[in-house]
Amino acid sequence: MSRRRERRKEEKATFGRKGTATRYQMRQKLVAFGDDFYIENEAGQKVFKVDGKVLRVRDKLIFKDMQGNKLCQIQERMLRVKDTMAIDDGQGNKVAEVKKALITPMRDRWTVKIRSGPDLDVQGNILDHEYEINEGRRKVAQVSKKWFRVRDTYGVEVAPDQEDVVILAVTVALDNMAHSRK
């Protein structure tokens, strides 16, 4: 079996209809500084709360579990050439940084610098919520609106070996940067 075919088979086992990926439901257009919203699992149960704080100097989105424990936060990085958002853990240590690529010929391209692991590449149509997050050639998450009939809703599938909160925070940061209201 070719390596390419093998990779597609592995991908289907993770992201296929009965795959092992964890699925979340997000509401489009609710992801904004100043807004609070919930992220639900595929059964429709609220699993994370995202608290949008609007401050004078910087805006912040704080991810909490349903018991109110702070898991991570997203902050805009000011005075940068490229659009950049930082993702910090609950103690304020930088976990990841999301950056828009300077050159984007056909599709949106973003990079995610991970502090304690390999960097991630994001490619696809961010505005329409149809994209993949890859670690090298391996897909680690997929975002799509196709899974839902409800308007303004999209899904995020996360591979089992990934930190769900970090992937979801990356998705929220991308959504916020792509739909910037500036």
pTM of the predicted structure, to 2 decimals = 0.85
Residues spanned by the domain of 36: 21-178
Cα–Cα dist 31/51, whole Å? 10
Q: How far is CA 57 from CA 53, 104, 169, 175, 180, in A?
A: 11, 30, 21, 21, 17
Q: Cα 49 vs. chain centroid, distance in angstroms?
A: 14
The 10s digit of each residue's pLDDT in 57-87 is 556 889 999 999 999 999 876 655 567 889 9
pLDDT the model gives residue 66: 94
Does 163 map to a domain? yes
Is residue 8 in a domain?
no
Has residue 113 been placed in a domain? yes
Q: What is the CATH number of the domain that holds 43?
A: 2.40.160.200
Q: What single-letter DSSP state applies at residue 32?
A: S
In total, how many domains does the chain have? 1
